[in-house]
Amino acid sequence: MHYLSFRPRSRQEVLRNLRDKGYLEAHIEAALARLEGYGYVDDQEFARFWLENRTRFKPRSVARRSL
């Protein structure tokens, strides 16, 4: 939960974090399903956050290129 508290996280970020910590794939998938069900992991919210953050601190052309 600490990892999720700083900013929105994508499913891929959480997946990578849990794999790096050595959790079993079955446990990771179960955890991700629960986290998504509770709304703690939401790729659409992450995309909104990412785009807003990029456009706030970089010109639009730079944000578009990195997508």
Total of domains in the chain = 1
Amino acid making up residue 52 = E
Structural domain range at position 40: 11-66
Please answer whether residues 32 and 15 qualify as being in contact, where contact means their C-beta atoms are separated by less than 8 angstroms: yes
Residue 6 lies in a domain: no
Average pLDDT over residues 41-53: 90
User: Which of 1-5, 24-28, 48-52, 56-60 has the lowest average pLDDT?
Assistant: 56-60
Residue 51 lies in a domain: yes
Residue 2 lies in a domain: no
The phi and psi torsions of 11 (rounded to 5 degrees) equal -60, -40
| pLDDT tens-place string over residues 14-35 | 999 999 999 999 999 999 999 9
* Predicted local distance difference test score (pLDDT) of residue 5: 84
Q: How far apart are CA 18 and CA 16, in angstroms?
A: 6
Please answer whether residues 28 and 15 qualify as being in contact, where contact means their C-beta atoms are separated by less than 8 angstroms: yes
* Predicted local distance difference test score (pLDDT) of residue 2: 83
Distant-in-sequence, close-in-space partners of 45: CB < 8 Å, separation ≥ 6:
8
